[in-house]
Amino acid sequence: MVADLRQRSSHQNVDDALTILENLEHRGATGADVDSGDGAGLLLKMPDSFVRAIAHDAGVTIAESALYAVAMWFLPPDRDGNALRAQLDSHFAARDTDPLGWRQVPVDSSILGAAAAQCEPVQWMQFIGTAATDTPLEFERRLFVSRRIASRELDLYAASCSSRTIIYKGMLTSGQLRRYFRDLSDPRLTASIAIVHSRFSTNTFPSWPLSQPFRYIAHNGEINTVRSNRHWMTAREALLDTSIFGCDLEDISPVITPTLSDSGSFDEVVE
């Protein structure tokens, strides 16, 4: 992690975090296909000026001082992208958020190994405003519910969906992340906090969604009690009782997505 103690945003912080990641390459596992990694990623405190600039370039208007969020969606290339984006907009609009527009994330797919390329998603940024008079925390809860329900009904994955953070990640090696995402070399991309991770696959095979960081945690190590932990969390769901999400808890249950890794399950519980 790189963090400026005075909360000053700079592209140097982003560059330094990527350098850390590249120097972690010895940790990452590779098979015979050395250009397909177990996963690498970067979590940033929301780069406000950059997001507003790229949204404007994409024809999306974010009102000055407005509360907004960015969702980073992995869309399957073999499904109708226009239809999926329209369905996602409908899901968010139905829960008092304001879908503002979309931007395809620019990437360099030519550097991918065969395994990573075979399952590469098309990544899109969804810009979301709030149609209600929300506090930042209330907006985060609304985004949480909207994203969970949409993800499960449409069988999609969002690397991040927040007004606080944004995540660039994929089934990449440590050295590929900077080259794959063209945004990461843009000097306009600044942040005061940046977290990187190089995944070493243990309980699951590599995949694009299982790359880290996750939305709340970045975790090294294997949770050997993962099956018991998941069962205990499932048992606790009967005791969950809160009205703060503005929906039936059954709509956002189960807490743990069965196909995630041990770290992914941990992240969902923390979330």
Tens digits of per-residue pLDDT, 180-189? 999 999 999 9
Tens digits of per-residue pLDDT, 94-113? 998 999 999 999 999 999 99
- Give the C-alpha separation, 162 to 184, whole Å: 19
Confidence category of residue 223, pLDDT binned at 50, 70, 90: confident
Q: How many CB atoms lie within 10 A of CB 116?
A: 24
Q: How far lies 127's CA from each of 49, 51, 124, 161, 212, in Å? A: 14, 9, 10, 9, 22
Confidence category of residue 220, pLDDT binned at 50, 70, 90: confident
pTM value is 0.93
Residues in a beta bridge with 166: 44
Mean pLDDT across the chain, nearest whole number? 92
Q: Decide if pLDDT at 29 tops 60.
A: no
